[in-house]
Amino acid sequence: NAGVTQTPKFQVLKTGQSMTLQCAQDMNHNSMYWYRQDPGMGLRLIYYSASEGTTDKGEVPNGYNVSRLNKREFSLRLESAAPSQTSVYFCASSEIRGNTEAFFGQGTRLTVV
Amino acid sequence: TQLLEQSPQFLSIQEGENLTVYCNSSSVFSSLQWYRQEPGEGPVLLVTVVTGGEVKKLKRLTFQFGDARKDSSLHITAAQPGDTGLYLCAGPMEYGNKLVFGAGTILRVKS
């Protein structure tokens, strides 16, 4: 049972480049999330999807877009990367809503130079 | 400004000492969760507290949910080096669809 799988694990981008972070879960969860983690800031919610076909902005959505491709997959896209987007990105899923346990992937360490 | 404020931000103690970490908000939460994160890994759930005034114990860890459901605390008795990590509180918002986190408390237990 893989749980939540994120790819890639590491990435270096040049300013202005675009990329998509992939996330897939095999637990049949309805809710999925994208967070970024910066030193001293904890986890900040970028976007979330309460169910297949819906997405909503979180606390820090600017510069990002998401796609809930199906129930399993939730991708995060950076259209034009900026140094301020250097961070560790985590994808998570939960069964129904935010008051049930969230399961996390191992993270993607992104550096924008 | 984060909806969930954690304190302290950093705690360095000797093995065997007790400690308490706090999670506070001006908002009422239907539940609060505590996660622990180790370097290079994603957070892992420790406990969920649901009822105001609830106390839950997990071995040497005691979790409490405030009566008004605006705050929570994590108390560790006789801390061990294996307790070292980042402790995060989290709670659901917007009808439970949005899970937000505090900034976390970095705990270092020295042997």
% residues pLDDT > 70 (chain B): 95
Residue B58 touches partner A, C-beta closer than 8 Å: no
In whole angstroms, what is the distance from residue A48 CA to residue B97 CA?
A: 8
pLDDT beyond 70 at B51: yes
Binning pLDDT at 50, 70 and 90, where does residue B63 land?
very high
**Cα distances (Å, whole numbers) of residue B64 to B11, B67, B88, B98:** 19, 9, 14, 22
Residues A41/A30, Cβ–Cβ less than 8 Å: no
- On the question of pLDDT at B1 being above 70, the answer is no
Average pLDDT along chain B: 93
Cross-chain residue pair A101–B33, CB shorter than 8 Å: yes
- Determine contact, residues B98/B92, Cβ cutoff 8 Å: yes
Q: Point out the residue among B6, B43, B96 whose CB comes nearest to the CB of A99.
A: B96
User: Which one of B33, B95, B99 has the shortest CB-CB distance to A33?
Assistant: B99
- Which has the closest alpha carbon to B90: B68, B74, B67? B74
- Over range B60-83, report the average pLDDT: 97
With residues binned 3-state (H G I as helix, E B as strand, rest as coil), the percentages for chain B, rounded to 5, are 5, 55, 45
Q: Are A72 and A24 in contact (CB under 8 A)?
A: yes
pLDDT at A1: 61
- Name every chain A residue with its beta carbon within 8 A of the beta carbon of B46: none
Rounded Cα distance between A11 and A6, Å, is 12
- The pLDDT assigned to B2 comes to 66
Question: Which helix (H) or strand (E) covers residue A110, if one does?
Answer: strand A108-112
Residue A5 has a CB neighbour count (10 Å cut-off) of 15
For chain A (length 113 residues), average pLDDT per consecutive 10? 90 97 95 92 91 92 96 97 97 78 94 97
> Taking residues B32-42, what's their average pLDDT?
94
CA B16 remoteness from chain centre: 19
Alpha-carbon gap: B60 to the closest alpha carbon of chain A (Å): 21
pLDDT at A101: 86
Query: Which of A99, A101, A106 has the most B C-beta neighbours within 10 Å, making it the best mutation to test the interface with B?
Result: A99
Asked if A48 lies within 8 A of B42 by C-beta distance, the reply is no
